[in-house]
Amino acid sequence: MTVPVPSTPSDIITLALKTANVVGVGQTPEAEDMNDAFNLLNMLLAQLQRRRYFIYQLITTGYQATGALSYTVGPGGNFNIPRPGKIESAFFRQNQNTPLPVDYPLEIIRAREDYNRISIKNLNAFPRYAFYDAAYPVGNLFIWPLPNAQYQIFITTMLQLQQFATISDTLALPPEYSAALMWNLVLELYPFYGLPENPITRGKAEASLRIIEESNAQIPQLQMPTALRGQNTGTYNIYGDQYIGSSP
């Protein structure tokens, strides 16, 4: 008999409860057990949402600059998207209404302490940096120097994973996510019910996450600061200790 692939949170939860030995084969989980496991599943998804390798797509969103010191990021904000924990990259666009708009990358400032070192925060000039303050429920994006209305700002953030409202929601995730959610939910159920952890389950859970990591991995090309490059622009020959195609 063919076993259907899990298509709802209810399917994943039922399999997880059986795998954790909370219910036996042929038994129907109690409503309270289903509800508790449903809450654990959403909590698990909320944690996995912050792991870059668990996100299968990055989303780029734009907003017209106004010369403001900061822009809100989150539901109902200037960037009307789910509130991100951080931004992956940013750039701004010049001449957006022409046939050949030009994009310039923005360097990400990762810490508030570094942003605080900027002396004149209201400086209006060619933008270079972006700092994201992950406030809740709406974050704040600071661009410096301040861009005026001739520029458009773009930020790239992680896609918001599906959040389940009911146990009957249709699963709208790539197929490999079902096993990862099920096996890792089992790990959440063990301490919840005071059951000993099965090492086989631990291995299955970790393997399922590695499969997703391998599928979603995107490693940007290494960029070396200009100050460290020196005057040589050619390719370094490690065997001859010299640059090929560069002038002395």
Residue 237 predicted with pLDDT over 80: no
Asked if 87 and 132 count as a contact pair (C-beta separation under 8 A), the reply is: yes
DSSP string, 24-52: -TTPPPPHHHHHHHHHHHHHHHHHHTT-G
* Mean pLDDT, range 38-51, rounded to an integer: 95
CA distance 153 to 93: 6
161-212 residue pLDDT tens: 998 999 999 999 999 999 999 999 999 999 999 999 999 999 999 999 999 9
84 CA to centre of own chain? 8
Tokens 């870059």 belong to 52
CA angle 154, 114, 66 (to 5 degrees): 35
User: Edge-to-edge strand order for the sheet containing 89-94?
Assistant: 58-64, 151-158, 89-94, 102-109, 129-133, 139-144, 70-73
91-108 residue pLDDT tens: 999 988 888 899 999 999
Torsion of CA 187, 188, 193, 197, to 10 degrees: 20
Q: Which two tokens stand for residue 169?
A: 């929601």
Choose among 93, 82, 108, 130: nearest CA to 220. Answer: 108
Neighbours of 47 (CB within 10 A): 11
2-29 residue pLDDT tens: 556 778 999 999 999 999 999 988 889 9
pTM score: 0.81
